[in-house]
Amino acid sequence: MSVFINKKTKLIVQGITGRDGSFHTAQMKDYGTDVVAGVTPKKGGTKISGIPVFNSVEEAVENTQANTSVIYVPPPFAVDAIYEAVYAGIKLVVCITEGIPANDMMKVYPFIKNNGARLIGPNCPGLISPGESKVGILPGTIVKKGNIGVVSRSGTLTYEALWALTSAGLGQSTCIGIGGDQIIGTNFIDCLDAFENDSSTKAVVMIGEIGGTDEEDAAQFIKKKMKKPVVGFIAGQTAPPGKRMGHAGAIISGGSGTAEDKVNALNKVGVPVAASPTEIPQLVKEALKDFKDGKRRRPINPKKEPKKKKK
């Protein structure tokens, strides 16, 4: 099993004739993803990498029974592309496009929920279930099929964490980049819940960053609902207040959203937090040993007894 995508995923690429769309379409197809169609207005009837192109998502769905869409269109048209995909009956929409205004996302978000669809992104690298399907820009060469779920706000740190896990022999069930914008379609709790209910996932790596309270909210969910071990990493530990660090959502404001706040919140619920991505594999191995039947067998970072002085 896996989370959100698998071998049954039938993918449409919106913006398939653009530079990014055409390049990543070939990458996804080569990985084994069932890319059934592309969509670019006025380009219907053509083909990209042997994949038929349609003028609209509705037309593509009618001809291919697609259930998933990935969006590579420019920011001014990305929100319309999301509306179009959901209206056509697509249940999973992955938006790679960055630079979409938060106000536009606030309008489209309820439309997605009311239609029973799921959005991952925007401004995200997508997701991959090793050996099954890849939707987005995550490189298939650094993943390995296994039982560790990965969810991250940062694309680059996702790559680092995956490489570290794979190099340590820890394969992954599904890796999800949720994006770092202020308004996103799928958050940490959504992914943690999915991993908790996925029989192929035995532990979860959660990669957060400064800004907002998503990691603190996730910590409370872990405390109340998770029976699987979770290992964390928080980016931006040296970031100054009031400075945006990369993502639109990665900003410390009003004294909240600091790395220290997030690390403390996770530690309080028994989630060990790595100091760097290279420490993640060892913490995962320790966490897997510490858990049995959904219960921790020994405390995180137990206090060491002071050594007695020799007389």
HEC secondary structure over 96-131: CCCCCCHHHHHHHHHHHHHCCCEEECCCCCEEEECC
Give the pLDDT of residue 155: 80
Residue 243 predicted with pLDDT over 60: no
Q: How far apart are CA 289 and CA 204, in angstroms?
A: 14
The reply to whether the predicted model has a pTM over 0.85 is yes
Q: What is the chain's alpha carbon radius of gyration, rounded to the nearest angstrom?
A: 20
Residue 311 predicted with pLDDT over 70: no
Give the pLDDT of residue 293: 60
Residues in a beta bridge with 238: none
Dihedral Cα 266, 268, 272, 277, nearest 10 deg = 30
Domain positions in the chain are 1-123, 139-292
Answer yes or no: same fold for 1-123 and 139-292.
yes
- Mean pLDDT, rounded, for 227-255: 64
**pLDDT bracket for residue 239 (50, 70, 90):** low
Average pLDDT, the chain: 90
24 annotated active-site: no
Strand bridging mode 68-71 / 10-14? parallel
Q: Residues 29, 118, 247, 262: which is the catalytic one? A: 247
Q: How far apart are CA 303 and CA 306, in angstroms?
A: 9
Give the pLDDT of residue 254: 47
The CATH architecture annotation of domain 1-123 reads 3-Layer(aba) Sandwich (3.40)
**CATH topology assigned to domain 139-292:** Rossmann fold (3.40.50)
